[in-house]
């Protein structure tokens, strides 16, 4: 697979979003808690990534503070986000790690009851950069099997997050995914390697609260989300992904920023808030491979 540094260039295709919307907005809740690195999961070291302990060290033993930060996401943060979105009847996409979903079936039931899309976030929330290809292929198959058993249907969307050089090819070869979200390369879906790619975002994402160069308060997050939305809305025919995590945006001082942004989007009157699978299906209809 080669790199494409040109893309749509100066003339992106018309999105033709439903109801003449100027922008498509997709809210994503990443459900990872319990599937992170832990000696309890058979890993050599504890997790050190994406928590409020920015730059935390990893340990060849249990790291109790890190474990509890992740546990907040499934115990409290997820439910706070769930209440907020369901109160407004807003469609949401969940990137669900299979091992994490297996540990909290009540959360999975709540996702399904809300008619949220549950896409696959892989089998484990670990870095696959150096994982052997045969192991990664087996993990993809295991993620699909667990996901299907828990939800009643196979996942149609894929986002591994911490990918290897083989991930995109393995997903295309698997053949059952409508879209792959393991890209940050565009503001619109595109076709590559026989697979529809629906790009994700790491900037309009609460993970910036867990980065040294990131947000320090909810107001900053809100302003950045609004600025991103308004720029893409002005351009027209774009999509915006908003990435959230229960252990991060599910904290009270951050959830309120997400709620305020949601209010801003809904008040615009010309935004299509959609699940990622709906955006993918629309794109395939308007711009087939």
Per-residue pLDDT of the chain (289 residues; tens, 9 = 90+): 589 999 999 999 999 999 999 999 999 999 999 999 999 999 999 999 999 999 899 999 999 999 999 999 999 999 999 999 999 999 999 999 999 999 999 999 999 999 999 999 999 999 999 999 999 999 999 999 999 999 999 999 999 999 999 999 999 999 999 999 999 999 999 999 999 999 999 999 999 999 888 999 999 999 999 999 999 999 999 999 999 999 999 999 999 999 999 999 999 999 999 999 999 999 999 999 8
d(CA 199, CA 243): 12
Beta strands in the chain (DSSP E): 23-31, 93-96, 117-120, 157-158, 179-180, 190-192, 195-197, 238-245, 271-273
**Neighbouring residues of 23: CB distance < 8 A, sequence distance ≥ 6:** 17, 229, 232, 233, 236, 237, 238, 239, 240, 270, 271, 272
pLDDT of residue 35: 96
Number of Cβ within 10 Å of residue 112's Cβ equals 15
pLDDT of residue 1: 58
d(CA 91, CA 144): 23
pLDDT of residue 225: 98
Angle at 132 between CA 131 and CA 136, to 5 degrees: 75
Rg, C-alpha atoms of the chain: 18
pLDDT of residue 55: 87
d(CA 227, CA 230): 5
d(CA 34, CA 101): 8
pLDDT of residue 253: 96
Q: Quick check: 264 and 226 in contact, CB under 8 A?
A: yes
Residue entry with tokens 């309890």: 40
pLDDT of residue 2: 82
Q: Tokens for 219?
A: 């107001």
């Amino acid at each position: 697979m080669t790199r494409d540094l040109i893309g749509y260039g100066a003339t992106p295709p018309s999105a033709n979003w439903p109801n003449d919307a100027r922008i498509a907005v997709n809210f994503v809740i990443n459900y990872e808690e319990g599937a992170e690195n832990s000696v309890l999961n058979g890993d050599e070291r504890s997790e050190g990534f994406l928590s409020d302990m920015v730059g935390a060290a990893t340990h060849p033993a249990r790291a109790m503070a890190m474990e509890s930060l992740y546990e907040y996401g499934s115990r409290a943060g997820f439910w706070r986000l769930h209440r907020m979105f369901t109160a407004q009847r807003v469609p949401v996409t969940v990137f669900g790690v299979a091992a994490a979903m297996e540990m909290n079936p009540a959360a999975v039931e709540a996702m399904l009851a809300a008619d949220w899309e549950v896409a696959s976030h892989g089998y484990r929330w670990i870095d696959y950069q150096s994982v052997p290809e045969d192991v990664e292929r087996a993990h993809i198959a295991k993620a699909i099997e667990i996901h299907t058993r828990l939800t009643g249907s196979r996942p149609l969307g894929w986002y591994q997050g911490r990918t290897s050089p083989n991930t995109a090819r393995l997903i295309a070869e698997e053949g059952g995914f409508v879209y792959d979200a393991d890209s940050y390369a565009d503001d619109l879906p595109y076709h590559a390697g026989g697979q529809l790619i629906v790009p994700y975002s790491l900037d309009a994402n609460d993970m910036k609260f867990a980065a040294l160069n990131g947000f320090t308060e909810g107001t900053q997050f809100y302003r950045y989300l609004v600025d991103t939305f308004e720029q893409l809305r002005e351009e027209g025919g774009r999509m915006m992904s908003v990435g959230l995590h229960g252990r991060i945006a599910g904290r009270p001082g951050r959830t309120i920023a997400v709620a305020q942004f949601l209010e801003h989007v809904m008040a615009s009157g010309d935004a299509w808030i959609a699940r990622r699978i709906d955006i993918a299906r629309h794109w395939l209809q308007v711009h087939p491979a």
